[in-house]
Chain A
Amino acid sequence: MAANPTVPPQHSRRVEAWVHSVLNPIIDGLSREQLLLKSGNLSWRAYSRRFEYVRPVIEYVDPSQQPNLEDFLNDPENLGFEDRFRRHDDLQRELELETNGFFDGLMNSAPFSEQVGTALRQYATDPHSSSYSTTMTDESVARFVGEYLINSIENLEQHYGLHEFWSRNRQEFRRLAEGAELGEKRGSFDRARRKLLEESGSLLGQLKGHRHYLCAKFDVPAAPFPNVLSA
């Protein structure tokens, strides 16, 4: 009987490529995503309006390996993953939209702008405060504060320009961000974060299980051997 041409043979290089260049980086990316979503540090950046380390699934795979991703998604061994990735990416996009909406709400909030301006003037005139860059405007500081609030930053590194300013004022900024004016946007943002956390955790579990299934069925290693790495 002729072999089924769609089933890869044992020790298949194709399956190795799926595991090493598609599944492993996605599993690594989703593991980090879980850590960040759980801790609340979403790695969101005001300058890019994106999460640096919470991305659509395709972006966890190096661009040079996209053909292996397409091959993985098109093979019947891996049925269902295209839909799972799409569901993850829809929720990731929803969270990004809600986050941007919450940030814009903060930037357009008069009480928030006033609070940043007042805190900044108090800080600048306090002889005991360490200096921040004089080139920073109220607006640029407000953008940093918004970013720190979204990322649930507790303490900034000592050498960061706003370290002391943040540690003195973060409670007041948090109170404003959770107050009535921004409460709805904050609520939508939190719900979107929880939905992605759940979906991403479930996808991560499924991918780990599928990696094990492929490695066992086709007898391929889950990661490249050191001698393969140096070849």
Chain B
Amino acid sequence: MSPLRDNDRRELLIVDTGPIRELILHHAVFHFRFQKLRSHLQWLKTQASYDRCSGFIAAFRQKMTSASVVAELDRWIRETEKLGQAKLWNRVYDEFRNMQMQEEAVSLVEMKVDMVARFGPVDASLIGLAKRHQNLQPIVLTVDKKLCDECRGLGFDVRLLEEV
């Protein structure tokens, strides 16, 4: 799938944990030389792939994620860095501040129990955000094929990071 062009500029991008993780890792490895983190990069391994992703995100006026994604980032940081977790949290703060990322909570009782059971509360919260902001025709950006298929099934626009 081709990246967004100027004439299909959209209002809202909903960002899953995977793309945020990749942006943070790329910056940590290539700008701040945290070489031990290099092996954790899966998609944004080159400057070209990073630039494509950055350009894609830039085409949206608003960027949003869910509070559940922040909790998932916490779990990832604790698994990735046994020591010195602050350096990754600093990167998360930098990325959120500079992207002007909005963060909304979707409460458990707002989500359908069968969806939480099938996909977990993080993916369900992103679908919840897409429903909540349906009027803005959001696009969900993820690395998760299961979430991608579910979004498409529900009629939401979605992109896999590898398609960007």
Query: Which A residues are closer than 8 A to B by beta carbons?
Result: 25, 31-32, 35-36, 41, 43, 45, 47, 52-53, 62, 64-65, 130-133, 135-136, 156-163
Contact = CB atoms under 8 A, between A and B. Distances in A.
Given A64-B83, A136-B100, A161-B98, A53 B32 contact: yes
Q: Is the interface of B mostly helix, strand, loop or mixed?
A: helix
A159 B99 contact: yes
Nearest to B91: A52
A43 B34 CA distance: 14
Given A158-B51, A159-B56, 8 more contacts: A45-B90, A45-B93, A53-B32, A132-B100, A135-B100, A158-B54, A159-B57, A163-B58
A135 B55 CA distance: 22
Interface in B79-115: 83-84, 87, 90, 93-94, 97-100
A156 B98 CA distance: 9
B97 A47 contact: yes
9 contacts: A25-B84, A45-B93, A47-B93, A53-B90, A133-B100, A136-B100, A157-B54, A159-B63, A161-B100
Interface of B: 23, 27, 31-34, 51, 53-58, 61-63, 83-84, 87, 90, 93-94, 97-100
A55 to B, nearest CB: 10
Nearest to A64: B83
B58 A159 contact: yes
B57 to A, nearest CB: 4
B34 to A, nearest CB: 8
Contact of B62 (A53, A62, A133, A136): A133
A35 to B, nearest CB: 6
Chain A CB within 10 A, most for which of B34, B83, B87: B83
Contacts of B56: 159
A94 B98 CA distance: 27
A49 B32 CA distance: 19
Contact of B98 (A52, A53, A62, A160): A160
A43 B32 contact: yes
B84 A158 contact: no
Contacts of B53: 159
Nearest to A32: B33
A31 B34 CA distance: 11
A32 B100 contact: no
B84 A62 contact: yes
Nearest to B81: A62
Nearest to B63: A159
Contact of A32 (B32, B54, B93, B99): B32
B85 to A, nearest CB: 10
Contact of B33 (A35, A136, A157): A35
A196 B115 CA distance: 55
Chain B CB within 10 A, most for which of A53, A133, A136, A157: A157
Nearest to B84: A62
Nearest to A148: B98
A159 B32 contact: no
A133 B100 CA distance: 7
B99 A161 contact: yes
Contacts of B61: 131
B23 to A, nearest CB: 8
A151 to B, nearest CB: 11
A88 to B, nearest CB: 19
A156 B97 CA distance: 13
Contacts of B34: 32
